[in-house]
Amino acid sequence: MPPRQTSVGDTILRGKKVVVLTGAGISAESGVRTFRDNDGLWENHRIEDVATPESWARNPSLVWKFYQTRRRQLLEVEPNPAHMAVAHLEGKCKSLVLVTQNVDDLHERGGSSAIIHMHGSLRSLRCQNTGLSEVRMGEHDLAEGFVLCNCCTVATMMRPDIVWFGEIPLEMSVIQKEVEDCEVFIVIGSSGHVYPAAGLVNLANSNGAHTILVNFELPINGRDFDEVHIGKAGEILPELVENW
């Protein structure tokens, strides 16, 4: 049975506890490259060569160059209407927690506040010794050379503050608790392929939440949602939020 296509205004979010999960699709509309192309490559690199702890240990220069390029690209993109709509939604609910799989800062610049970056952030770097993260977006921080931390007596080389394949996403216990407690769970721009994020809709469903999908096309887990809206988030989400 196909998911129900719901008309605008069918769902009212006022006074509800809401969790929003966003994926690469919402940032792609701002020109941010999605995590892998149809040929399985990520900006012409194999995932195994730039996005695993093993690749960092094997060839840190390649991994560093790859992520420095992505960090500099943050300065070239802007939030789109979907980011603004998510921020506007915060004021319409009893509470809203925004969980994003994206490592860019477009939600912050779009006006959202309570954000959990489950896959890390390009804006920050992480000390390999202490594990502490620092926002490092100065001109020197974005250059080709490695960056040293400010937290150690003897400065340590920092790594990208990104959750690589084979590593555990950040704040999963907090995310699961928020999804278990929410009354409405909204997913925007996610492929439904990457776990554990793709399984959160099932957690929400099992706890009685109303689940909503906003996506360019029906993803692999699209039939797990109570309500589905197909289209570009930047085009359809502002009107949906206005009427919720």
List active site positions: 119
Q: How far is CA 226 from CA 120, 186, 204, in A?
A: 29, 10, 11
* Longest CA–CA separation in the chain, Å: 61
List all residues 6 or more positions away from 30 whose beta carbon is below 8 Å from its beta carbon: 77, 78, 79, 80, 83, 106
Which amino acid is present at 9? Answer: G
Strands (E), 142-216: 158-162, 184-188, 210-215
Q: What are phi and psi of 141, to 5 degrees?
A: -65, -25
* Residue 79: closest CA among 117, 31, 113, 36: 31
Tokens describing residue 216: 């360019």
Tokens of 118: 């489950």
Closest CA to 188 of 238, 146, 136, 145: 238
Two structure tokens written together for 80: 């789109």
